A = this chain, B = another copy of it.
């Protein structure tokens, strides 16, 4: 039954024609479209709480649709909580909260010259090789690869890593003791969880080290305890003074100083762990990029029962891949596996299979070798340029990795240099900002991972202009 346009209007309810901006009249689209239109009007606040809607009969007439469409729509919106239905009366809009406007997206920071240290050149990410690996993985993966699975990670990747880590890093592990993580950060978080569940209250770190990692520790409820480093790596003579029974170290290439841990200290550190029944967490973040000779093997090889070795694809491939791996003492595997289960039910399968493909095919080694060549040229160019433009300032930690440390003249505040550099659109980090001690080392971290060799002279000029005059 059609309503006549001449019918007198009930002023207490809005007319259907006034309610909706637009909806789709086509068969099969009508109900859904009408529902979205009314819901949208309520959510946007155009129909406020308590507003009566037209009766289904009235609305059907106004919109020239069948009454069943309207009653279905009202029922659905009532089931969702947007409308309150009343017997023999028109429905009213239920209480629906309004919401603030869109929050702005910050633009990613981009420097004209980027010396930010820990990140590799994402331009070098091997897109084609990665796609080939994904393609092959998608072709051969069993269906169960797409299901929940072993929370330690895909067996294909754990096997490939066990072989790779033994060959390249001297790590002593089998696939059963490897757990795949979302990069180093999650590996550290999992260790913190397990330590905390065991009753630990703190975790020792080298100083200087990376503040973002302290954040992960603190967020898990542990305190960070500091142990200083010098030119030979961790000062093991200070180990007796710390109360923590676990320590995070970077023996192959201390971050950020670049020191390589001296052999006697490696032995002393392992001895400390054995004596205290402690745990060493070895952050082996960039050992693949060693320029002068073979990288020293992982500390883990000296005592696989007390060292957790953590590796990552963030330096060799790209941080966005978010893949890391832990080689665990047998006694820790089950606890870490349960922690991993609780925090995310395991890592994504396909990326793991792709990385396993890269490792098994040798493409990973080839990519690392190519990248090492490129980084070596950038490193050599940087050292050469620094030596000629800033001859008075020592360069340290250049044997490996993606950054060097430039020490500053006495009395120069590295944080002030960072600020001055920023005004010249040069991104650089201060060593003192990475210190846990009151008397921090000072210097600049100069990452060369992201600087093409031909731009380095210009970048060093811009940096040099940010430094105060220094004695020649």
Residues in A lying within 8 Å of B, measured CB to CB = 31-32, 35-36, 39, 43, 76, 78-82, 84, 94-97, 99-106, 108, 119, 122-123, 125, 127, 130-131, 134-135, 138-139, 143-150, 155, 167, 170, 172, 174-177, 181-183, 185-186, 189, 193, 197, 212, 215-216, 219-221, 260, 263, 266-267, 270-271, 274, 293-294, 296-297, 299, 301-306, 318-323, 330, 333, 338-339, 341-351
Contact = CB atoms under 8 A, between A and B. Distances in A.
Q: Which 4 A-B pairs have the closest CB atoms?
A: A103-B176, A320-B349, A146-B318, A219-B342
A333 B103 contact: yes
A345 B185 contact: yes
Nearest to A271: B95
Contact of A175 (B105, B125, B305): B105
A115 to B, nearest CB: 15
A197 B144 CA distance: 37
A186 B130 contact: no
Given A79-B296, A303-B97, A349-B322, A343 B216 contact: yes
18 contacts: A80-B297, A80-B302, A81-B267, A82-B297, A95-B271, A97-B303, A102-B175, A103-B333, A104-B176, A105-B175, A108-B150, A127-B138, A131-B134, A146-B319, A146-B321, A182-B182, A197-B219, A219-B342
**Residue in A94, A303, A345 with the greatest tally of chain B CB atoms within 10 Å:** A345
A345 B183 contact: yes
Contact of A193 (B219, B344, B350): B219
A185 to B, nearest CB: 4
B145 A320 contact: yes
Given A105-B176, A186-B344, A302 B148 contact: no
A104 B155 CA distance: 11
Nearest to A318: B146
Nearest to A352: B320
Contacts of A95: 267, 270-271, 302
A189 B301 contact: no
Contacts of A333: 103
Contact of A130 (B125, B138, B143): B138
B122 A147 contact: yes
B304 A99 contact: yes
Contacts of A145: 122, 320
Contacts of A267: 81, 84, 94-95
A306 B97 contact: yes
B320 A149 contact: yes
B131 A144 contact: no
Nearest to A303: B97
Nearest to A321: B348
Contact of A189 (B108, B123, B338, B342): B342
A341 B183 CA distance: 12
A180 to B, nearest CB: 11
A179 to B, nearest CB: 12
Contact of A135 (B131, B270, B345): B131
Contacts of A175: 102, 105
**Residue in A105, A139, A181 with the greatest tally of chain B CB atoms within 10 Å:** A105
Given A215-B341, A266-B81, A350 B351 contact: yes
B348 A32 contact: no
Contact of A119 (B148, B219, B304): B148
A96 B303 contact: yes
B76 A296 contact: yes
Contact of A172 (B43, B108, B266, B347): B43
A302 B348 contact: no
Given A176-B104, A263-B79, A351-B351, A185 B122 contact: no
A39 B35 CA distance: 71
Given A43-B301, A131-B138, A146-B122, A343 B186 contact: yes
Contacts of A323: 348
Contact of A103 (B78, B99, B322, B330): B330
**Residue in A99, A220, A318 with the greatest tally of chain B CB atoms within 10 Å:** A99
